[in-house]
């Protein structure tokens, strides 16, 4: 706060802090409080709201525990989101390292721009592009058949399609935190380790990864939360056997008309994301100030 006052001055700092605080209250705190209130109330017709039956309880939260299908989908969503996070990290780590420590200074901005340009297109359109690529008679099947790797086309929709679509959809949320963390690493440390005979695997394990822990934690948190809360990708690229927990929440809100139960399910998902954030911070031994960088 003192640095902000020194750079902006007291009046502008007060204005910025007040604006951010107002935004957080209106866009984050109040909607969450309203969702909690909805989740504790029963689903009643308007004429009975506020009556003797309108009593707050944890009954809506117990519905998930009593519904085996929803429990399985919830567990599958968490597991699949973890796999998406891991796969995104595996894909993005070498890209971020190349941009931060290998690419020439003049070439790095061009490569970053090449990564960003596809994301100028709406997520729905990008997901539809993958829908076309993974179609039964789409380019992927035609290419694999032409190369002799398959005898007949395969239906890629389902878990595989959702995984591929999510890794692509959230790749930037992993690349940039990793790149930001690796860029501050002194290149001389890598050169010294190489001169001492350390292998590339040991250099990354002992030097690069420990230095990039805040970026890894941030990227994993952002990717997991976006994957767990995604609706468009599983809805377009999934199958009835690969339903996402967010699809159930959507159905409660907009098809079942039960906002109270939908709010309870949404709050359970939110709590799990908070638990994941805490676990990532403990695993990588970073604090909020490290992630904020």
3-state SS, 142-159, equals HHHHHCCCCCCCCCCCCH
Q: How confident is the model at residue 160 (pLDDT cuts 50, 70, 90)?
A: confident
| pLDDT digits 0-9 by tens, 253-277 | 888 888 899 999 999 999 998 899 8
**What average pLDDT does range 63-70 have in this prediction?**
88
H or E segment at 174? helix 172-183
**What average pLDDT does range 167-184 have in this prediction?**
92
pLDDT at residue 131 above 80?
A: yes
Q: Quick one: angle between helices 172-183 and 213-228, nearest 10?
A: 170
Predicted confidence at residue 285, as pLDDT, reads 81
Written as six digits, the tokens of 150 are 């398959």
Q: For residues 43-69, b (16+ Cβ closer than 10 Å) or e, as one string?
A: beeeeeeeeeeeeeeebbeeebeeeee
| pLDDT digits 0-9 by tens, 219-228 | 999 999 999 9
pLDDT at residue 202 above 70?
A: yes
Predicted confidence at residue 145, as pLDDT, reads 87
217 vs 93: CA distance, rounded Å = 13
Q: Average pLDDT, whole number, for the chain?
A: 87
**What average pLDDT does range 105-121 have in this prediction?**
86
Predicted confidence at residue 158, as pLDDT, reads 81
Q: How many CA atoms lie within 13 A of 39 on its CB side?
A: 21
Which of 36-45, 56-65, 167-176, 238-247 ranks highest by mean pLDDT?
167-176
Structural domains for the chain: 1-41+48-57 (no CATH), 68-292 (1.10.3720.10)
State CA 147 to chain mean position distance. 35
pLDDT at residue 142 above 90?
A: no
């Amino acid at each position: 706060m003192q640095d902000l006052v020194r750079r902006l001055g007291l009046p502008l700092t007060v204005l910025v802090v007040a604006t951010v605080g107002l935004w957080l209250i209106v866009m984050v705190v109040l909607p969450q409080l309203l969702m909690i209130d909805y989740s504790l109330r029963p689903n009643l017709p308007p004429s009975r709201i506020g009556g003797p039956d309108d009593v707050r309880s944890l009954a809506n939260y117990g519905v998930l525990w009593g519904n085996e299908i929803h429990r399985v989908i919830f567990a599958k969503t968490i597991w699949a989101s973890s796999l998406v996070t891991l796969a995104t990290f595996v894909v993005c780590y070498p890209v971020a390292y190349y941009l931060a420590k290998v690419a020439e200074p003049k070439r790095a901005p061009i490569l970053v721009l090449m990564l960003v340009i596809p994301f100028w297109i709406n997520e729905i359109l990008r997901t539809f592009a993958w829908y076309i690529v993974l179609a039964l008679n789409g380019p992927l099947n035609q290419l694999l058949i032409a190369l002799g790797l398959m005898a007949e086309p395969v239906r890629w929709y389902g878990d595989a399609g959702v995984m591929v679509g999510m890794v692509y959809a959230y790749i930037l949320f992993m690349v940039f935190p990793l790149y930001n963390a690796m860029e501050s690493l002194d290149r001389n440390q890598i050169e010294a380790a190489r001169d001492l005979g350390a292998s590339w695997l040991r250099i990354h394990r002992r030097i690069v990864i420990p230095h990039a822990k805040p970026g890894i934690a941030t990227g994993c948190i952002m990717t997991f939360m976006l994957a767990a809360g995604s609706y468009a990708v599983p809805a377009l690229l999934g199958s009835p056997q690969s339903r996402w927990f967010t699809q159930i929440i959507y159905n409660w809100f907009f098809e079942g008309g039960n906002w109270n139960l939908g709010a309870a399910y949404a709050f359970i998902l939110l709590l799990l994301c908070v638990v994941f954030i805490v676990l990532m911070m403990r695993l990588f031994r970073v604090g909020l100030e490290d992630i904020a960088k």
